[in-house]
């Protein structure tokens, strides 16, 4: 079905996040013979490793990656962190991306939303609809599980990459988002990754941070509690472990 989509839409700009879904969509479009131009929107909300993964993917697929930088922290509707923050953020980012893509001659803009994503009235999804961004994976009924398997068969290194939400989601709703907090969270998560943790979140709390790990990683977190305190103590005054397991990313 994706091949049919790209035959009907042979030229498109793609918002490439560095994750499983948009990576597969880029591969599928190129395999279908379409001209798909990948763009990575770089903001303080995106960690460096996502950009590095996007570069690696494009290098392996033989396409050039365009990086569009947006200082989302200049938008008070976003930094105030209201319940509909994601809508304001996506409108700003995809508007910038659409403007850049249009300047490059692309009128169609795609993203990697899949059929497993619950569209509903989620603010971010609402923004995509308002900006007429199309989601071929969702339109073609491809679920996350199917995309992972097809990515594995295609030899894409992203096939088993854990789902990742932007750094802004680590800040409690209603608490102003600052560059300093985002940098602390990114640094902390990088340090935990170096300790061997995978598919986890480091969320800000009033006077520190809360580590959320999957149930399988509880024994690892307890065994390495000293190492966790060592690497995080310079960043956070209070460090806690959430006793409710984090659901593993699909």
Tens digits of residue pLDDT in 146-176:
999 999 999 999 999 998 899 999 999 999 9
Tokens encoding 43: 């903001």
CA distance 146 to 241: 33
* Spatial contact of 32 and 2, defined as CB atoms under 8 Å apart: yes
pLDDT of 231 > 70? The answer is yes
Phi, psi values for residue 12, rounded to 5°: -155, 155
pLDDT of 98 > 80? The answer is yes
Render pLDDT for 117-140 as a digit per residue (tens, 0 to 9). 865 556 777 888 888 999 999 999
pTM for this structure? 0.93
């Amino acid at each position: 079905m994706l091949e049919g989509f790209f035959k009907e839409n042979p030229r498109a700009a793609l918002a490439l996040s560095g994750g499983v879904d948009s990576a597969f969509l880029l591969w599928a479009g190129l395999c279908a013979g379409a001209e798909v131009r990948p763009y990575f929107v770089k903001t303080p909300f995106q960690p460096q490793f996502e950009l590095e993964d996007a570069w690696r993917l494009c290098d392996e697929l033989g396409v050039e990656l365009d990086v569009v930088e947006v200082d989302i922290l200049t938008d008070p509707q976003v930094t105030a962190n209201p319940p509909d923050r994601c809508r304001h953020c996506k409108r700003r980012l995809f508007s910038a991306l659409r403007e850049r893509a249009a300047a490059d001659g692309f009128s169609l803009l795609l993203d990697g939303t899949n059929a497993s994503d619950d569209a509903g009235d989620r603010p971010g999804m609402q923004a995509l609809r308002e900006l007429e961004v199309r989601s071929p994976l969702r339109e073609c009924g491809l679920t996350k599980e199917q995309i992972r398997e097809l990515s594995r068969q295609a030899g894409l290194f992203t096939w088993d990459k854990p789902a990742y939400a932007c750094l802004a989601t680590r800040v409690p709703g209603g608490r102003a988002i600052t560059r300093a907090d985002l940098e602390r969270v990114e640094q902390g998560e990088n340090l935990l990754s170096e300790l061997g943790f995978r598919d986890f979140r480091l969320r800000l709390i009033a006077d520190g941070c809360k580590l959320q790990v999957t149930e399988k990683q509880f024994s690892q977190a307890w065994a390495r509690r000293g190492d966790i305190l060592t690497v995080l103590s310079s960043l956070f005054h209070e460090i806690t472990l959430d006793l409710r397991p984090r659901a593993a990313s699909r």
